[in-house]
Structure 1
């Protein structure tokens, strides 16, 4: 139960939770391209109506484009119980606009999705096709352009941030090694060890 509660409302808060995901991302092994592209694929896939397939789709895209599969899994955190209502509403309204329809007032609720799956299980294809046409059909037209846009707005800033982080970390490691070497040389001189 605590895991479910933390998923909906993180105990450490949203800001610290977001920072934690960021730290996990930059500490993964991989090039700036690999990590940024992987995370961007996860975020982009979150803007699709294929709920339940986000991990699989983001991993597949990451594999195809030689990006980090772990980073793509982290990126799917963009889609969560707090963002899905906004994502689905945006997909629905944008899809209706692309199709040339007026903004819709369809209920994007659990009840409509339950009615869809109940109709599938019961074989009520008229009910299924009505719900599909009214709600899911517009989303299928809007998810691709929106997902491409989301990928771009995540990839380019993240690639720069990850590159700067990795360069700074490499410099810190070099400085730490230099300090360690200097300490070893200084301790050798104190012990009276002379270089030949």
Structure 2
């Protein structure tokens, strides 16, 4: 029922995930349009946006939707707005978000690694994934499990990212909250006015039609 009629190849789906059709500018306008059309009060919608934006500063990739929805529920915010708010994190923003979170986390935790020891974040991701794969196979073979690379990833990437993302995440989410409330309020007021004007025009047209029919 909800499947696409034209099934896209895997490479095309991945490409559109990184760069949507029409670009990220069009995607941002679509998200903005959907947020404005939500029926809840502006403050409730903005709390959902807060939850979604804040979640993008956490290292739980793949779980952002669930975390944002849960946080919005706790804050009594709009869950749909929270899901839309997670689009604040995208291929164009994840790199600066990660850099800010990592630098803040290393500063807060007082971590300082020598240049020769500090490897790229991407390489640490790859080596941590390799540890997980090798250790999974070790369960069924005689190989010895080795958690060294995963431990390095946790202490040098995941933990600093988690701690360091809290402050910039809250600051950014608060900015989005206070910017969203007046914008949503103005849009909803304008939309109610447009609906009312259309209703009055239809009522007037119907009255004129009834008047013309009675005169005949």
The answer on 1:81 being equivalent to 2:91 is yes
1:101 is displaced (CA, Å) by 4.0
Note the alpha carbon deviations across 1:77-110, whole angstroms, 9 max, x for none. Answer: 111222212211111111112223458854121x
Q: Does the Cα contact within 8 Å between 1:88 and 1:108 map onto a contact in 2?
A: no
Normalising by structure 2, we get a TM-score of 0.82
Q: Does the Cα contact within 8 Å between 1:30 and 1:68 map onto a contact in 2?
A: yes
1:28 is displaced (CA, Å) by 2.1
1:118 to 130, 146, 161: 130
1:29 is displaced (CA, Å) by 2.5
> Tell me, which stretches of 5 or more residues in structure 2 are unaligned?
1-10, 136-144
1:48 is displaced (CA, Å) by 0.8
1:72 is aligned to: 82
Separation in structure 1 between the aligned mates of residue 131 and residue 149 of structure 2, nearest angstrom: 6
The answer on 1:107 being equivalent to 2:107 is no
1:186 is aligned to: 208
Aligned length: 192
Q: How does 1:28-177 map to 2 (within 5 A)?
A: 28-102=38-112, 106-109=119-122, 111-121=123-133, 122=135, 123-177=145-199
1:127 is displaced (CA, Å) by 2.5
Separation in structure 2 between the aligned mates of residue 115 and residue 101 of structure 1, nearest angstrom: 21
CA RMSD of aligned residues (A): 1.8
